[in-house]
Amino acid sequence: MTISLNETHDPARRSFVDSANAPGCEFPIQNLPFGVFRPAAGEPPRVGVAIGDQILDVAAAAPSFNGPAAAAAKTCAAPALNRLMALGPEAASALRLALSRALSVEHGDESLRRHLVPMAQAEIVLPVAIGDFTDFYASVFHATNVGRMLRPESPLMPNYKYVPVAYHGRASSVRVSGTPIKRPQGQRKRAEDAAPSYGPSRNLDFELELGLYIGAPSELGDTIPVGTAAEHIFGFCLLNDWSARDVQGWEYQPLGPFLGKNFATTVSPWVVMREALAPFRVPAFARPQGDPAPLPYLDDAADQAQGGLAVTLEAYLASEKMRRAGIAPLRLTQTSFANVYWTVAQMVAHHASNGCNLLTGDLIGSGTVSGPEKTSLGSLLELTARGREPIALPGGQQRAFIEDGDEIIFRGFAEKPGYPRIGFGECRAVILPAG
């Protein structure tokens, strides 16, 4: 199913939920991201859709819909998005269309007001039962920056421009935005240390990433053509691949990330449908002259023409002292997902290219989305040159890596003239002391 622009993208459509029409609103009627929420403490979680500062209980609205949209809405009486995601892109699209009409001024069903819950009073939980988590390494700028620290003579490994490389992460430690994260402990060894010691990580970092969830699954042994790979993507979120750089640096050879990464991953609560981002598709990353063309199984004309996504990603830091003093979080970086070397379709196609089955609810991270400029780097490792160039915080502190009490906040949005801004909401967490 090729996504084309339709009435759900109409910039002129407005909602009878007034807050959704405010300029710059994260969740206008053109967005309609899905999440899971409890309307009040103690009530069972259910699927909702964000509209302005409200959440619509989707299953409660099902009687207002017909056909495939009604069937899709009924799967939303559940504590996770998986049943809806498993139905595939046609069903999700039918539900999106029905929700867009029902919440609009022109065709709206104002009786749905009784199924709206103010976002501020709801408890928003992890939206998906995540079976597996894989994290890619799709920014050539990030790969080159990190490679330069480790191998100044040959920063980029020779496979990089052929293989969308990734590692298998840990699904059990994925947490929703707002959940505090305990500083990990592990083996770490400084250059001046004769031997490693075990203790709290001294070099805790974030990685600013886009995440995607698999909707329609694939069978073990089957491959996924790159031309249809995007159809397996239900939607996108913000993802923080927390990284203990000292633990990672000591343990990663020869098998790659393990305990330096798997202690926690934070995701934003709202899943922005692939269809909502259709107006913000851009050409795939322009490979510099001399780079190899993708191998045929990763090469598709339509994907090259519009497989990129112009999503802006930002990371902010607020120390405990800043928060107590009422100082706004400091923006550390602003980057664009259009900077990544591989498209999301190429990541999905490559993941299944050996017959590995992708299942509904699998989470795939893009890898750190660093851009080419100093102001568009997606980790402190890069922003502070491995800690050698600390960042000055308002209020007099400075940071090489993340300290206890720091809050890291990601924001993301897609915008272009003539279209309402599609927001991702926030992905935030405070770091607690180890132990």
Please state the closest distance from residue 36 (CB atom) to Mn ion, in A: 24
Please state the closest distance from residue 80 (CB atom) to Mn ion, in A: 24
Smaller CB distance to Mn ion: residue 169 or 217?
Answer: 169
Beta bridge partners of 204: 244
Distance CA 72, CA 112 (A): 17
Smaller CB distance to Mn ion: residue 88 or 367?
Answer: 367
Residues sharing a CB contact under 8 Å with residue 171, sequence separation 6 or more, in sequence order: 130, 131, 132, 133, 363
DSSP 271: B
The Cβ of residue 299 has, within 10 Å, a number of other Cβ atoms equal to: 15
Please state the closest distance from residue 146 (CB atom) to Mn ion, in A: 10
List the structure tokens of 22.
């405010």
Residue number closest to Mn ion, CB atom:
241
Which amino acid, residue 51? I
Please state the closest distance from residue 353 (CB atom) to Mn ion, in A: 21
Q: How far apart are the first and last CA of the chain?
A: 50
Residues sharing a CB contact under 8 Å with residue 373, sequence separation 6 or more, in sequence order: none
CB 175 within 8 A of CB 266: yes
Contact characters 235-254, Mn ion, x per CB under 5 A: ------x-------------
Place of tokens 């009786």: 111
> Exactly one of 9, 142, 232, 350 is catalytic; which is it?
142
Residues of this chain, 287-346, that bind Mn ion according to CB under 5 A: none
Smaller CB distance to Mn ion: residue 54 or 262?
Answer: 262
Rg (CA), the chain: 21
Of 378, 363, 414, 335, the C-alpha closest to 176 is 363
Smaller CB distance to Mn ion: residue 241 or 426?
Answer: 241
Please state the closest distance from residue 182 (CB atom) to Mn ion, in A: 19
Residues of this chain, 183-212, that bind Mn ion according to CB under 5 A: 207
Please state the closest distance from residue 255 (CB atom) to Mn ion, in A: 16
* Annotated catalytic residue 142: yes
Residues sharing a CB contact under 8 Å with residue 257, sequence separation 6 or more, in sequence order: 135, 167, 169, 243, 248
Dihedrals phi, psi of 296, to nearest 5 degrees: -55, -35
Contact characters 119-138, Mn ion, x per CB under 5 A: ----------------x---
Q: Calculate the CA dihedral of residues 326, 415, 277, 430 and round it to 10 degrees.
A: -10
Smaller CB distance to Mn ion: residue 52 or 378?
Answer: 378
Residues of this chain, 55-94, that bind Mn ion according to CB under 5 A: none
CB 268 within 8 A of CB 410: yes
Distance CA 104, CA 92 (A): 18
Please state the closest distance from residue 378 (CB atom) to Mn ion, in A: 9
Smaller CB distance to Mn ion: residue 122 or 427?
Answer: 427
Dihedrals phi, psi of 93, to nearest 5 degrees: -65, -40
Interface ranges with Mn ion (CB under 5 A): 135, 207, 241
Residues identified as active-site: 142
